[in-house]
Structure 1
Amino acid sequence: MSGTNLLQTRISNRRAVFNAVRSKGPITRAELAQVIGLTVPAISNIASELEEAGLIRQEGKRAGLRGQPAVELSLDPKGGYSIGLSLAYRQVSGVVVDLTGEVIRSETIEISERGPQATADALANLAKRLIAASQVPADKLWGVGCSVPGTVENGTFWYDKVQEGDDWTRFHLAETLEMLTGTRVYVENDATVAAIGERLYGIGRHTRSFFYMHFNLGIGGGLVLDGLSYRGAFGGAGEIGHMIVKPGGRLCACGSRGCLEQYVSLYAAAETICGPERTPDEVPSEEVTSALRNGDPRLAAWVAEAAQYLRIAIRNIEALFDPDTIILGGGLPQQLFDDLIAAANPLLPNLIHRHGNTQPRLMCAEHASQLPALGAAALPIALVTQMHGTTLAQPIDGSSGNAALAFLGIC
């Protein structure tokens, strides 16, 4: 445990009030006092500071209470903005969001060059176009978040699991993007990013602990435990795709046999319909969706088989982490999510008592098929909401010219 000083206490209280308004607003000062455990006068002082800093605003008055109507507080959408970038197979996408997570502008572009520098240039150019088109003031930009399908170490290195050993190995993507954009950059694994986005903008607003199963070509996982994002000692927490669910089964690129993503992933689904002329990663998700809607028996058989192994993975996750719920999200067509959840139920018995938890054990993410960069845009904001010492990857440059971030202790 580390000691605290007066400034640290003030910053901690500011973050607590900011986060409570973000997650529970519109909310009155009296309600904030109950939630946080400070006196109403103390809450009023902090709320005034946050309002003066342009981070929260008075939303209106609560009618129907005793005495004078109480003023409600909510986030000021114009208090800050962030850019979210997502690198996926053959394309990059980006969004600009305000402080409430509302998308201001979005864009997706196809890329043919997969080299590290060319990819970094495409991501940086997309970020600069989004900033210019949305006319976000420089002093209101909280940073750029970037989601990548690989392992991130300390926010600076990206290891492509498929291309390990080539130019991508230990490529300083965050540092490169900071130099190209002149902005704070956070790079994180796509599954962790998806979980963070769901924590801030989706189901995580109503539940404290969940495991996010993120579908891309493969399948990964993101952990939120007691409201905090957890990435592990080396950024690999939640690597569910390489959980062995069928000993001696199909050979995986990791060297093991019977890994989950060999049976439950977009790659595995596409493999059933790609034919001999194509590889599964050449099958667009739209074609998978069309085949499913047309009742292709090959996909129906895949759903039935995948559901068996999904049940095993869910039961193992529950035994290890005891989450409120497990969330499915990412790049699968929505109908495949719905069919997988239907086929996986009933789930294997859970011997852990749920103590009246009303959440279902398996859910579809609120943003499962929407704007994959939305979670990345949440990365700069997530640092403020990590109240007990962040486990998120830190940006390269710890300095910041943003007054609001300095006010909240992110500098």
Structure 2
Amino acid sequence: MTGRLDRAGALPGTNLEQTRALNRRAVFDAVRRNGPVTRAELAREIGLTVQGISNIAAELEEAGLIRQEGKRVGQRGQPAVELSVNPQGGYTIGLCLAYRRAMGVLVDLTGEVVASDTCDYAERHPAAITRILHAQTRRLIDKAGVPEEQIWGIGCSVPGTVVNGAFWYDKVQEAEEWTHFPMAGELERLTGHRVILENDATVASIGERLYGIGRVANSFFYLHFTLGIGGGVVTDGHHYRGAFGGAGEIGHMIVKPGGRLCPCGSRGCLEQYVSFYAAAEAVCGPDRAPDEVPAEELAAYCRDGDLRILGWQQQAGQYLRIAIRNIEAMFDPDTIVIGGGLPSELLDGLIAATAPLLPVMAHRSASRLPRLMPAEHASDLPARGAAALPIAMAMQPNISNAAWSRTSKALPEISSPALAILGVATARG
């Protein structure tokens, strides 16, 4: 057998080379999560020798992924050099498709926002909305002035069920046109970058884990309002999608047996009573569909004390109490976080209407966090959560989950030395 050896003596394509890429990813991820960090600390966490860590760190530094921050002082012996992520080592884009609004951010490897963009839209066809997201992507890249080869990918948050890069959404009048629409593939074709599509509740929970309540709560359940209501599950610091990507679909928990018919085929699902759609249904009248009611109109009704909205809040609060108690019984989270696109006036009233919550389970009596908390999010948090998806893919390039599978086979080649050294394929054709 002949072939050209790399400088470590490994034949390209061998298991040894894959192991080296895996070790590089492990070191990079540990620096990203824990930095500034010393080589000795990395060795203890990952289980490699200090010399092995030093060799890998040199490769990552040469690729521009990490950098030396300085020396650790106050310890015995020679001060140890600290390593941290190089923010300019790569960039990701996060897009958030919300109700009548698209939000986007371009962030560096530390998650700091380099450029942001928000646009309202009235279009209702998925192809038109995909073109809006493409235009938003171009604006973000132009604002940031980032070279194309430094962009690791695009994460996109959508309000629907995601399977293999396509999703459907049953809360709009044109539901048939949204059925299994291949948004990831279309957006890849337009932008030339890998696109990872994910359900908005899962993405919101990722954003909350990275930048919000996740700083003090290791396990939580995120209740996310859009036209419907979804959920995201974070356990032991990691988000959980389930076997088919549907973990946390709290909107289809039955809270009133024999109640209203839901598009899922069941009756009495939670989102038939607790959702933006349900709130809008209370005020839209016979001449409009609920998804045609602007959020600002609902907020104004709430401020004016409209009895229709106040009545919805009180009824919805009682059904939400049931859901909260069931979530606690199933997942035993540190807390339940409630957020999303519901106007703050409606959200505050809804939270108030859940009081008093149903009796707490005995083992939760010592919890230091309230059972229900509003999300600690800024306006760009869902998009920042979406921007974390390409990094998650880079850390797990062989992931087989159907929702994150490759969708397009005709992407242009964008050479990324940083991704190459992490063992992530850069050939797009």
TM-score (norm 2): 0.83
Contact 1:329 1:369 survives alignment (8 Å): no
Partner of 2:3: none
Partner of 2:10: none
Partner of 2:170: 161
Contact 2:72 2:80 survives alignment (8 Å): yes
Whole-angstrom CA distance in 2 between matches of 1:143 and 1:352? 45
SS of alignment partner, residue 177 of structure 2: coil
SS of alignment partner, residue 166 of structure 1: helix
Of residues 81, 104, 111 in structure 2, which corresponds to 1:101?
Answer: 111
Whole-angstrom CA distance in 2 between matches of 1:388 and 1:397? 16
Partner of 1:112: 122
1:194 aligns with 2:208: no
SS of alignment partner, residue 107 of structure 2: strand
Whole-angstrom CA distance in 2 between matches of 1:346 and 1:386? 43
Whole-angstrom CA distance in 1 between matches of 2:364 and 2:18? 37
Of residues 408, 414, 418 in structure 2, which corresponds to 1:404?
Answer: 418
Whole-angstrom CA distance in 1 between matches of 2:214 and 2:104? 22
Partner of 1:328: 338
- One-letter amino acid matched to 2:81: V
1:78 aligns with 2:92: no
1:285 aligns with 2:299: no
Task: Give the 3 Å change call, closer, same or farther, for CA 168–250 of structure 1 in structure 2.
Answer: closer
Greater mean deviation of Cα atoms: 99-108 or 193-202: 193-202
1:259 aligns with 2:269: yes
SS of alignment partner, residue 353 of structure 1: helix
Report how far residue 68 of structure 1 moved.
4.4
Task: Give the 3 Å change call, closer, same or farther, for CA 204–18 of structure 1 in structure 2.
Answer: farther
Greater mean deviation of Cα atoms: 209-218 or 285-294: 285-294
1:25 aligns with 2:8: no
Of residues 130, 145, 150 in structure 1, which corresponds to 2:155?
Answer: 145
Partner of 2:324: 314
1:268 aligns with 2:282: no
Work out the number of aligned pairs and report it.
407
Whole-angstrom CA distance in 2 between matches of 1:296 and 1:368? 28
Whole-angstrom CA distance in 2 between matches of 1:341 and 1:74? 41
SS of alignment partner, residue 404 of structure 2: coil
Partner of 1:377: 387
Partner of 2:66: 56
TM-score (norm 1): 0.86
SS of alignment partner, residue 167 of structure 1: helix
Which structure has the greater CA radius of gyration? 2
SS of alignment partner, residue 66 of structure 1: coil
Contact 2:208 2:381 survives alignment (8 Å): no
Partner of 2:315: 305
SS of alignment partner, residue 326 of structure 2: helix
SS of alignment partner, residue 263 of structure 2: coil
SS of alignment partner, residue 18 of structure 1: helix
Whole-angstrom CA distance in 2 between matches of 1:400 and 1:346? 55
1:35 aligns with 2:35: no
Whole-angstrom CA distance in 2 between matches of 1:387 and 1:322? 31
Whole-angstrom CA distance in 1 between matches of 2:212 and 2:281? 31
Whole-angstrom CA distance in 1 between matches of 2:315 and 2:216? 32
Partner of 1:366: 376
- One-letter amino acid matched to 1:158: F
Contact 1:250 1:258 survives alignment (8 Å): yes
SS of alignment partner, residue 111 of structure 2: coil
Report how far residue 231 of structure 1 moved.
2.5
Correspondence list, 1:204-243, <5 A: 204-243=214-253
Whole-angstrom CA distance in 1 between matches of 2:18 and 2:363? 39
Report how far residue 297 of structure 1 moved.
5.5
Greater mean deviation of Cα atoms: 143-152 or 381-390: 381-390
> What do residues 20-53 of structure 1 show as CA deviations (whole Å, max 9, x unaligned)?
2222333333333343344433333333332222
Of residues 46, 54, 60 in structure 1, which corresponds to 2:56?
Answer: 46
Whole-angstrom CA distance in 2 between matches of 1:355 and 1:41? 48
Partner of 1:393: 404
Whole-angstrom CA distance in 2 between matches of 1:135 and 1:21? 26
Whole-angstrom CA distance in 2 between matches of 1:346 and 1:60? 53
Whole-angstrom CA distance in 1 between matches of 2:347 and 2:395? 29
- One-letter amino acid matched to 2:419: L
Report how far residue 142 of structure 1 moved.
0.5
Contact 1:333 1:369 survives alignment (8 Å): no
Computed over aligned residues only, the root mean square deviation of the Cα atoms, in angstroms, reads: 3.1
SS of alignment partner, residue 68 of structure 2: strand
Point out where structure 1 has 5 or more consecutive residues left out of the alignment.
none
Task: Give the 3 Å change call, closer, same or farther, for CA 242–139 of structure 1 in structure 2.
Answer: same
> What do residues 309-361 of structure 1 show as CA deviations (whole Å, max 9, x unaligned)?
22221222232233333222211234544444454355434437359764443
Task: Give the 3 Å change call, closer, same or farther, for CA 369–215 of structure 1 in structure 2.
Answer: farther
